[in-house]
Amino acid sequence: MGGGLLDRELSRARMDGLIVDRDHAEYDKYRRIWNGLADRRPTAIVRARTVEDVRKTVRVAADQGTLLAVRSGGHSLPGLSTCDDGIVLDLSLINYVTVDAAAGVVEVGGGALLGDLDKAGAHAGLVTPAGVVSHTGVAGLTLGGGMGWLSRRFGLTIDNLLGAEVVTADGRLIWASADSEPDLFWGLRGGGGNFGVVTRFKFRMHPLGPIVVGSWTYSANDYEAVLRGFQGLSSAAPRELTTSFELMSNELAVTACWSGAQENAAAIVSPFGNLASPVTGSFGNTAYVDLQKRSDESDAWGQRHYSKGGFLDKIDDAAIRCIQSAVASSPNARSHIYVLQLGGTIGDVEEAATPYSGRAASYYWIANAIWDESSDDMRCIEWGRNSAKSLAAISMQGNYVNEQADFGKDVAFGAYGVEKYTRLARLKARYDPANLFRLNQNIEPMP
């Protein structure tokens, strides 16, 4: 459909929000997403203000057969929240967060960021566990699963989801929860953006006291000893502790986050600073909202990224060798392998209870290639792809749909496995038979 005609249809829908077309002065600002590699030119960006705007945009896209990308935080690694031609439905203006402290629940607009959620929770001494970078969108993260510093203690973000308001492909507004449209509610907890546009989430919250964070860097010479020690300590850790490491060509950074009783913090966290002789180190009380912003700058918008992850049950010698050999050939000092500890409460939920497919994993790895110049695209993508391939060979079945730089049926199928993929595909046929919502790790409708 031509840009003029599409513009006309959107204008006729009389939105409260803004329609940013190619002639708009801020078109370039609003067409960008987080990954600088995804440099696309949609026909129009609808900056929705209301649920009605969302419904109208979905109807126009469905009626006109237009490609529709849905964007909240804009962090899609493969760039699926934008498109060439077609419409981008941008929810970032619907970013309210309303905490009901007495009930221990929070309602979150479909375009809110983790920083909005964390900040509102902190005022009430409450938290909903999510990811580790504050400018990530609540919507995209939740729809894939949502893992972060508090998942071992309080579960994945989806394990705290009580309900979601969804605009479906036919423009209906549906509330999905355990009691209302339970099949759709199942699909939303890991099935990505396949089933509609979520305009509101309702989450459970948990009281969170002060947290203690230890961070150390170790030299390249100590990689093996540190990672062996890390495996031993982290695998015996209680649920209130979550650890991670980031291995670059010249440095290994280890972080341990303790959310349990303060008096136990030093005994549990400080051994992670004695895995060898650290080059730098810090240990102490940290506001959770500050921890959540620690990587905001290094993960700033606009850099070029190719990232792929997978699940491990342990950091054994094979994993250590694989990670070491990947970073030995990394294209620059920024590119790295990041590992986050999972397990704990995440594994209390039955594997079949949600589409998210990694309940048994103890660790999550991600190979992150990061660079700035388009002339480095091939070299950096190749490193990311090869590193991920070698780690995938020693990883568990299943994968995390939210952190896959590539997309296509094989990616979704590989992530969910045959049983869950089939269930998702039947659900897709019920809620989006024409596959309007296909810019995602797509589930093809199966009648």
Is residue 42 near ligand FAD by the rule CB under 6 A?
no
Among 45, 88, 133, 369, the residue binding ligand FAD under the rule CB under 6 A is 133
248 near ligand FAD (CB under 6 A): no
Based on the shown chain and the rule CB under 6 A, indicate whether residue 132 belongs to the binding site for ligand FAD: yes
Determine phi and psi for 421, rounding to 5 degrees.
-60, -40
176 binds ligand FAD (CB under 6 A): no
Decide: 203 and 157 in contact? Cβ < 8 Å.
Answer: yes
Minimum Å distance from CB 110 to ligand FAD? 4
Of 368 and 387, nearer to ligand FAD (C-beta) is: 368
Residue whose CB is less far from ligand FAD, 206 or 438: 438
Residue recorded with tokens 């001494």: 125
Q: Does 191 bind ligand FAD (CB under 6 A)?
A: no
User: Residues with Cβ < 8 Å from 312, sequence gap 6 or more?
Assistant: 319, 339, 361, 362, 363, 364, 365, 394, 395, 396
Supply the DSSP string of 350-364, one letter for each residue.
-GGGSS---TT-SEE
Instruction: Output the six-digit token pair for 335.
Output: 């590119």
342 neighbors 147 (Cβ within 8 angstroms): yes
Specify the amino acid at residue 334: R
Closer of 80 and 269 to ligand FAD (Cβ): 80
> Judged by CB under 6 A, does residue 43 bind ligand FAD?
no
Question: Does 148 participate in binding ligand FAD (rule CB under 6 A)?
Answer: yes
Q: Kindly tell me which of 69 and 276 has the beta carbon lying closer to ligand FAD.
A: 69
Look up residue 301 and give its two tokens.
């918008």
Task: State the minimum distance, in angstroms, from the CB of residue 411 to ligand FAD.
Answer: 13
Measure the CA–CA gap between 407 and 174, rounded to whole angstroms. 28
User: Who contacts 81 (Cβ-Cβ below 8 Å, separation ≥6)?
Assistant: 33, 69, 70, 71, 72, 74, 75, 88, 140, 439
What's the closest the beta carbon of residue 270 comes to ligand FAD, in angstroms?
A: 25
Q: Which of residues 92-111 bind ligand FAD (CB under 6 A)?
A: 110
In angstroms, give the least distance from the CB of 234 to ligand FAD: 17
Least distance in angstroms from the C-beta of 92 to ligand FAD = 8
CA distance 75 to 308: 14
Query: Using CA of residue 390, residue 396, residue 397, residue 402, what is the dihedral sign?
Result: negative
Nearer to ligand FAD by C-beta: 212 or 401? Answer: 401
Answer yes or no whether residue 45 interacts with ligand FAD by CB under 6 A. no
Q: Does 384 bind ligand FAD (CB under 6 A)?
A: no
One of 131, 229, 273, 384 touching ligand FAD (CB under 6 A): 131
Binding marks (x or -) toward ligand FAD, 330..349, rule CB under 6 A? --------------------
Position among 66, 76, 259, 387 found at the interface with ligand FAD (CB under 6 A)? 76
- Which DSSP string corresponds to 239-306? TTEEEEEEE-SSEEEEEEEE-S-GGGHHHHHGGGG-SS--SEEEEEEE-HHHHTTTTTTTT-TT-EEE
Candidates 141, 161, 312, 361: give the one binding ligand FAD (CB under 6 A).
Answer: 141
Tokens representing 220 are 């390249």
For residue 428, state whether it binds ligand FAD (rule: CB under 6 A): no
Neighbours of 62 (CB within 10 A): 17
Cβ closer to ligand FAD: 71 or 423? 71
Q: Which is nearer to ligand FAD, 144 or 398 (CB)?
A: 144
Let me know how long the chain is: 447
Is residue 146 involved in binding ligand FAD (CB under 6 A)?
yes
**Short-list 79, 78, 80, 10, CA closest to 47:** 10
How large is the greatest C-alpha to C-alpha distance in the chain, in angstroms? 66
Tell me which stretch binds ligand FAD (CB under 6 A): 18-26, 67-75, 244-252, 426-434: 67-75
Binding-site string for ligand FAD from residue 271 to residue 310, where x marks contact by CB under 6 A and - marks none: ----------------------------x-----------
Residue ranges binding ligand FAD (CB under 6 A) = 33-34, 70-77, 80-81, 91, 110, 131-133, 136-137, 139-141, 143-148, 192-193, 197-198, 299, 402-403, 439-440
